[in-house]
Amino acid sequence: MFNGPPPAGPMGIDPLRSVAKEMKFMTGNIRQLLGSGHPMLDTVSKYYTQSEGKYIRPMLVLLMSQATALLPRSPRSENSLKDAVDAPITSSSVLNDTNPDSPLTASSVESRDFANDPSIRPSQRRLAEITELIHTASLLHDDVIDTSVSRRGNPSANIAFGNKMAVLAGDFLLGRASVALARLRDPEVTELLATVIANLVEGEFMQLKNTALDEKHPVWTEDTVSYYLQKTYLKSASLISKSCRAAALLGEHPMEVVEAAYQYGKNLGLAFQLVDDMLDYTVSGQELGKPAGADLELGLATAPLLFAWRNNKELGTLVGRKFSEEGDVQKARDLVIQSDGIEQTRALAQDYVDKAARAISGFPESEAKVGLIDMCSKVMSRRKIDVSSRLRRAILLNDPLLVRRIITNTPTILPNPDFEEKSNTSLHLAAANGFTEIANLLILAGHDNHEISRNADYDTPLMLAAQNGHFEVGTMLAKRFPRCIGFVNRKGLDALALAAREPGSTALIPILLQDPHYPASPHSRDLDGNTPLHHASASGSLKALRILLAAGANPLAKNNYDWTPLAYSQTVAAEVYFKNLVAEFERRKAEGVKISEERERARVGGVRVVEDGAGGEGEGDDDVEAIGDALKRHWSPVERKRPITPGGGGEGVPRIHEWGSTMTHVRTRSASGE
């Protein structure tokens, strides 16, 4: 079902984008799972969650869950409690008898946000968190075993708290992971993840030796590489492969889908570790985020050295004594760099990446599948994430603490325009995603102190908030930077027009209209001559229509193509509104006839009649004709045509853009979106 050539990896796509909504609560949920009544244990167990992690493993679980969501399901049980991931199996009084503040019965952070999202099940989200707990526990234990001094740019836990506390904290994480795993109420998934924990220990034991027999004078054989790959699978790839498999199982998919997910994770996990071993020889310790050459210092022979050893027997002597004599580490490093060991490692990693991509080639096309394929490309080009990418990722994860730490350590990175994404700044990104706390943090740090940010389309952060229906952050930006309320983008749209066309931003419209110093104008027009009322009518928001009309918007204003706002009404509510206008038109028409008759009688009698509130002769007729004209445009008795969505030119109608380039727009119906 899933055989075929590996698809080409897309360029410039961040896999995180597809699951950003789920990932933004990941740290909060994990920290909640780790709560302890003992202050020191609580601090140590959460230590690595306070520093920046890449969250590769949980992200893969979520992407796999989304990518398989469109595939057929094959129910494995009738257990209705399977998604009750926060419900204890044992009585709470027994679980929490000595720790009333335990989080074992607490619900997930912001779980209500995902109640209507069918692409990822609650059990799959919890699996992603369990996967990260197991991985973090392994880091705590590894740092003790390897006597590490740093992790993620900070002192490692064994240095900060001592070996004993680091080991106990790792055990505590595994205990919490086991509780969460049991509550998935899926024996097969529990078996898989429990096996992962055993695999990690088995792999660590295998790593105590560089070869199966651990000879003092080893000779290179094919089994040397096989032993290394088996150890690598147990220590690194097992968690990724089995968590991907578990994600498919929790999604209740057929066995061929489950196996495809497993093969993807297995091959990607092996490639990931091969590249990691290669980076130990090719980049600096600062770029790695941990000491370079650490493997050799620990006496470990990894893939680049094993491949170099095949053609250089001298390395066998160094491997046999585990690089323990003075000068051994540097000599081994030099010999590896002079050989083709690094190139052979890269080629093997690429082979595993191709197998991973091929495993899921039969999955339906989706953003999540694109993310999984792109992960394959990113593994091969992996280096330490640059500070610009780290800041953007921290914003997408909605992690204010991490954002604060990054901009405090690197103040110059604050605006951080993304040149691959319309030059959106940090504030653009926060506003577009509705992250008010982060937006406020960026502003307090000095973002937009001197000049209001505008991207390549001339959009301000306020415009993106209005466009995406984020009232809270939009209100905050309008009050902090009222001067930008009237700014327009390349299409001539201001924040009011963008709010009018997005029903979620309707509540922002009065804020923009009522600013005491820079109020938005209900009469503003975009490059097509559309007013905010045109956009509100096309969006079908009756509330927005009423607010704009109350502010004095002209319902008879025509755009460049001679259409009024009435012509864009497409909802039932708008149709009712339209019928009321018809009745108003008939009433005014009858009144116009009556007034005309009275004027005619007065003219014949030589008396001039002046009506209260009336203008000069013919003005009432002009109003009636204008309304009638609008109605006739809405329902043409000849062509029976409706106008198209505001925002583009008529079909085949060229116009000169304000920057001078001739553009031809293909108009679309408003029902199709703009």
1 pLDDT tier (thresholds 50, 70, 90): very low
Q: What's residue 660's pLDDT? A: 32
Task: Residue 501: name the closest of 465, 537, 460, 453 by CA.
Answer: 537
pTM of the full structure: 0.61
Residue 513's pLDDT band (cuts 50, 70, 90): very high
Residue 98 has pLDDT above 60, yes or no: no
| N residues, the chain | 674
CATH classification at residue 406 = 1.25.40.20
Q: Is the pLDDT of residue 309 over 50?
A: yes
Q: Which is it for strands 154-155 and 150-151: parallel, antiparallel or unpaired?
A: antiparallel
Q: Is residue 318 part of a domain?
A: yes
Q: Which of 58-62, 152-156, 320-324, 630-634 has the lowest mean pLDDT?
A: 630-634
Residues 290 and 418 occupy one common structural domain: no
Closest CA to 186 of 258, 103, 78, 90: 78
Residues 244 and 122 in one domain: yes
- Structural domain that includes position 598: 573-672
Give the model's pLDDT for residue 108: 55
Comparing 326-330, 456-460, 565-569, which segment has the lowest mean pLDDT?
565-569
Evaluate if residue 673 carries a pLDDT over 60. Answer: no
Q: Does 541 fall in a domain?
A: no
* Stretch (H or E) spanning 534: helix 532-539
pLDDT greater than 90 at residue 34: no
Q: How many CB atoms lie within 10 A of CB 620?
A: 17
Q: Please indicate, yes or no, if residue 562 is contained in any of the structural domains.
A: no
Tokens of 397: 């994860």
Q: How many domains does the chain have?
A: 3
Q: Report if residue 558 sits inside a domain.
A: no
- The one-letter amino acid at 75: P
> Could you tell me the two tokens for 187?
């024996």
SS (H, E, C) 84-115: CCCCCCCCHHHHCCCCCCCHHHCCCCCHHHHC
Tell me 418's DSSP state: B
Q: What percent of the chain has pLDDT over 90?
A: 45
Asked if 361 and 67 touch (Cβ cutoff 8 Å), the reply is no
User: Would 339 be classed as within a structural domain?
Assistant: yes
Domain boundary among 329, 362, 380: 380
Residue 93: its pLDDT value, please?
52
3's torsion region: left (phi>0), alpha (psi -120 to 50) or beta?
beta
Q: Is residue 187 part of a domain?
A: yes
| Residues 376 and 464 grouped into a single domain | no
The whole-number pLDDT of residue 100 equals: 40
In a shared domain, residues 351 and 233 = yes
Cβ atoms of 210 and 232 within 8 Å: the answer is: no
Query: Measured between alpha carbons, how far is 611 from 615 in angstroms, rounded to an integer?
Result: 8
Q: Is the pLDDT of residue 60 over 60?
A: yes
- Same domain as 112, residue 186: yes
For residue 244, the domain's CATH number is 1.10.600.10
Q: Please check whether residue 66 lies inside any domain of the structure.
A: yes
The answer as to whether 597 is a domain residue is: yes
Q: Tell which of 363, 380, 397 closes a domain.
A: 380
Confidence at 583, pLDDT banded by 50, 70, 90: low
Looking at the structure, tell me whether residues 323 and 427 fall in a common domain.
no
Please tell me whether residues 375 and 234 are part of one structural domain.
Answer: yes
Q: Are residues 366 and 496 in the same domain?
A: no
| 364 in the same domain as 461 | no
| 332 and 391 belong to one structural domain | no
Whether the predicted pLDDT of 612 surpasses 50: no
The span from the CA of 577 to the CA of 121, in Å, is 42
For the residues 86-113, what does the mean pLDDT come to?
52
Residue 317 above 70 pLDDT?
yes
* Single residue among 455, 486, 520 that ends a domain in this structure: 520
Residue pLDDT, tens place only, 625-660: 444 444 444 433 333 344 556 655 444 333 333 333
Domain check: are 120 and 23 in the same one?
yes
* Mean pLDDT of the 129-135 span: 94
Residues 211 and 340 in one domain: yes
Q: How far apart are CA 592 and CA 413, in angstroms?
A: 66
Segment among 1-5, 19-23, 204-208, 644-648 with least mean pLDDT: 1-5
Of 32-46, 176-190, 222-236, give the lowest mean pLDDT range: 32-46
